[in-house]
Amino acid sequence: MADTPEEIKKAQKKYLLIGLILFVFTVVTVAVATVPWLDFGEHGFDARDATIGLVIATIKAGLVGAIFMHLSHEKKTIYVLIVIGILMGISLMGLTGWAFDDPIEYGNSVERDGFFNPEVKAEQH
């Protein structure tokens, strides 16, 4: 870790560079989502656009973590903490997977019953 004043002085250039890269990546994300000739996959938003957006976001997050948060050279204790945190976070997301076997069913919604539509209601009864 950059700890002595000399090292820190040197590291500042790196921080600026990373900041710049993050700016550029942000512009790229927006361009991919808005500029027609950069539209990958189908016309409009689709899985490919989502993947590109999330990959860029992950790279950006990685850069922030590695450089700004000094994770590229940290002590073991902290890696353990982060790995546990991330694993728990991912397993929380994984919990959503249960729903694939047990999806939400809306049953007869208020609209379909015509509760808010007196005409439909009159027809039904």
| Cα–Cα dist 20/12, whole Å | 13
Q: Which two tokens stand for residue 59?
A: 């790279």
Smallest distance, other proteins to C-beta of residue 66, A: 11
> Hey, how many other C-beta atoms are within 10 angstroms of the C-beta on 87?
10
Write down the least CB distance from residue 96 to other proteins, Å. Answer: 5
Q: Where on the chain is the footprint of other proteins (CB under 8 A)?
A: 3, 5, 8-9, 11-12, 15-16, 18-19, 22-23, 26, 29-30, 33-34, 42-45, 49-50, 53-54, 56-57, 60-61, 64-65, 68-69, 75-78, 81-82, 84-86, 88-90, 92-96, 99, 103-104, 106, 111, 115-118, 120
Residue 64 and residue 22 in contact, taking contact as beta carbons nearer than 8 Å: yes
Distance CA 109, CA 29 (A): 38
Residue 96 vs 124, nearer CB to other proteins: 96
- Nearest distance, CB of residue 120 and other proteins, angstroms: 8
Asked if residues 50 and 62 have their Cβ atoms less than 8 Å apart, the reply is: no
